[in-house]
């Protein structure tokens, strides 16, 4: 089980986008995540007529390491550490360490 999953609301803790919030679009295998509108770069793209892609300069989201993001806790209004626990019915769930609130309902 992963601490950060696709669709989670996260806050960036380090780098040029420190303090900004976004939603995880994709989780990559090498401990990196792509967050919506975070770590944007300009990419010079050649046109590809067969795929219908125009050429020019496009904005693209690049991956950020998972250690540089924290799961956003809406009750506290800031980023929070995540732990795992097993409930009485045998399910393994994520929870916020500060207030023991379960993330996955």
Q: In this predicted model, what pLDDT tens digit does every residue of 4-40 receive, in sequence order? A: 999 999 999 999 999 999 999 999 999 999 999 999 9
Using CA atoms, how far apart are residues 15 and 70, in angstroms rounded to an integer? 13
Using CA atoms, how far apart are residues 33 and 66, in angstroms rounded to an integer? 6
pLDDT at position 105: 59
> Looking at the DSSP assignment, which residues form a beta bridge with residue 71?
10, 80
Q: In this predicted model, what pLDDT tens digit does every residue of 68-78 receive, in sequence order? A: 999 999 999 99
The total of other beta-carbon atoms located within 10 Å of residue 35's CB is 26
Q: What is the pTM of this model?
A: 0.86
> Looking at the DSSP assignment, which residues form a beta bridge with residue 47?
none
Using CA atoms, how far apart are residues 30 and 25, in angstroms rounded to an integer? 15
**% of the chain at pLDDT higher than 70:** 99
Using CA atoms, how far apart are residues 45 and 24, in angstroms rounded to an integer? 24
Burial zone of 20 (CB within 10 Å; 0-12 exposed, 13-18 middle, 19+ buried): middle
Residues ≥6 apart with Cβ < 8 Å to 64: 12, 15, 17, 32, 33, 34, 35, 38, 39
């Amino acid at each position: 089980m992963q601490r950060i999953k696709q669709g989670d609301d996260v806050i960036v803790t380090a780098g040029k986008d420190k303090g900004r919030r976004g939603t995880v679009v994709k989780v990559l295998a090498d401990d990196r995540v792509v967050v919506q509108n975070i770590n944007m770069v300009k990419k010079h793209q050649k046109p590809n007529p067969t795929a219908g892609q125009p050429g020019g300069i496009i904005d693209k989201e690049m991956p950020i390491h998972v250690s540089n993001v924290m799961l956003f806790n809406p009750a506290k209004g800031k980023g929070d550490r995540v732990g795992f626990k097993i409930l009485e019915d045998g399910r393994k769930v994520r929870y916020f360490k500060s207030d023991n609130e379960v993330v996955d309902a």
